[in-house]
């Protein structure tokens, strides 16, 4: 069995996945949008003037990496369950040490998780 190369190794590295995700302007915009207050996907799409499907995909990717969480659920007048998302991080620092990226994530304490 051959030794995996650096690209193969980094594909499974969580730090690399987070850095790649945060390289997108859209992802950063969504993350900043829900830093101070939780919002549903429709609110985010309207605020950022991006498609709802893009918002859902971005939120799903952020949620998979534990960078956002569902703050609360609200039942609409039509009986539909609506998720409100909030950023779990307030600040990100990416530095290079010995040609390897170092990622520092700082928790979001501006909007503590609701108890709803």
Q: How far apart are CA 69 and CA 83, in angstroms?
A: 10
Q: Where are the domains of the chain?
A: 6-107
Per-residue pLDDT at 31: 95
Domain 6-107 CATH assignment equals 1.10.10.10? yes
How many angstroms separate the Cα of 47 from the Cα of each of 22, 41, 63, 74, 83?
A: 19, 10, 20, 20, 16
Nearest Cα residue to 44 out of 33, 35, 54: 33
Contacts of 84 (CB under 8 A, 6+ apart): 38, 39, 40, 70, 71, 72, 73, 74
Q: What is the pLDDT of residues 57-116, one digit of tens each?
A: 999 999 999 999 999 999 988 989 999 999 999 999 999 888 778 889 999 987 555 443
């Amino acid at each position: 069995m051959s030794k995996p190369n650096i690209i193969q190794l980094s594909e499974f590295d969580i730090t690399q996945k987070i850095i790649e995700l945060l390289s997108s302007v859209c992802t950063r915009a969504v993350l900043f949008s829900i830093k101070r207050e939780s919002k549903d996907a429709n609110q985010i799409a309207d605020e950022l003037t991006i498609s709802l499907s893009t918002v859902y995909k971005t939120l799903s990717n952020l949620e998979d990496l534990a960078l956002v969480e569902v703050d609360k659920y609200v039942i609409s007048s039509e009986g539909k369950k609506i998720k409100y998302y909030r950023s779990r991080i307030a600040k990100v620092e990416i530095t290079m040490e010995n040609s390897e990226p170092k990622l520092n994530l700082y928790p979001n304490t501006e909007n503590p998780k609701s108890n709803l």
